[in-house]
A = this chain, B = another copy of it.
């Protein structure tokens, strides 16, 4: 059961992130290949960075399902394009993106835990997995990565990693993972709802 809901959330994350990458590609007027590549890289990039840092073969090299799920997001983005109900789509996008952020943060922290790493390892791997794909997406699109100057986004992921670290000694790993995900998701939703922003120093 826990396994099944994890797989489900991970799939939602892959689709949401590839969707966001493909949308960016369409805005940047890339060709079909560029759109597909940007979608796939956004979905799989964070996980690849995570796996490379702990000397694991990136999952995407062996799991066709990851690439196929990413293609679902790309196809969704292409078919959405030109449709009218942008407000609804934006809402769906933000919610699923937050679910992706939440589940990927948790995945990264779990890998750190399984690799015997401590708090710093959980934070670095959790955040790399959650925000790495988006950073690669924006670099390829020749922009300053959104997470560096947008409303509270990576900070939610950071909070989730810290919750993971605080819970994993006293809780079951599944429960820990759930607390971590819930923290990220709820914080992100609140940040969007109330337009929270971090201070700037310009």
Q: Does A90 contact B (CB under 8 A)?
A: no
- A120 in complex: contacting residue of B64, B115, B117, B158, CB < 8 Å: B64
Judging by beta carbons under 8 Å apart, are B118 and A155 in contact? no
CA distance A17 to B158 in the complex (A): 22
With contacts A140-B144, A148-B33 taken as known, whether A61 is within 8 angstroms of B67 at the C-beta atoms is no
Closest to A56 in B: B55
Contact A119 to B64, CB < 8 A, known contacts A54-B57, A139-B140, A148-B25 = yes
Contacts of A139 in B (CB 8 A): 139-140
Q: Would A124 and B31 be within 8 Å (CB), given that A140-B144, A148-B25, A201-B26 are in contact?
A: no
| Partner pick for A63 among B25, B32, B120, CB 8 A cutoff | B120
Contact A200 B33 (CB under 8 A): no
Instruction: Give the copy number.
Output: 3
Residues in B neighbouring A60, C-beta threshold 8 A: 120, 124
Q: CB-defined interface of A49-60 with B at 8 Å, one 1/0 digit per residue?
A: 000111101101
Q: Please tell me if the beta carbons of B135 and A140 are within 8 angstroms of each other in the complex.
A: yes
Residues on B with C-beta less than 8 A from A152 are 33
Which of the four size classes fits the interface of chain A? 35 or more
How far, in whole Å, are A141 and B148 apart by their CA atoms in the complex? 9
Taken together as a complex, chains A and B put the C-alpha atoms of A92 and B124 apart, in Å, by 30
A200 to B: closest C-beta gap in Å: 5
If the complex has contacts A26-B201, A31-B198, A135-B140, are A154 and B112 also in contact, measured as CB distance less than 8 A? no
Assess the B62–A202 pair: CB atoms within 8 A.
no
Residues of B with C-beta under 8 A to A140: 135, 139, 144-145, 148
Contacting residues, chain B, for A144 (C-beta < 8 A) = 28, 30, 140-142
A78 within 8 A of B: yes
A98 at the interface (CB under 8 A from B): no
Cα(A64)–Cα(B64), bound, Å: 36
- Flag if B121 contacts A61 (CB, 8 Å): yes
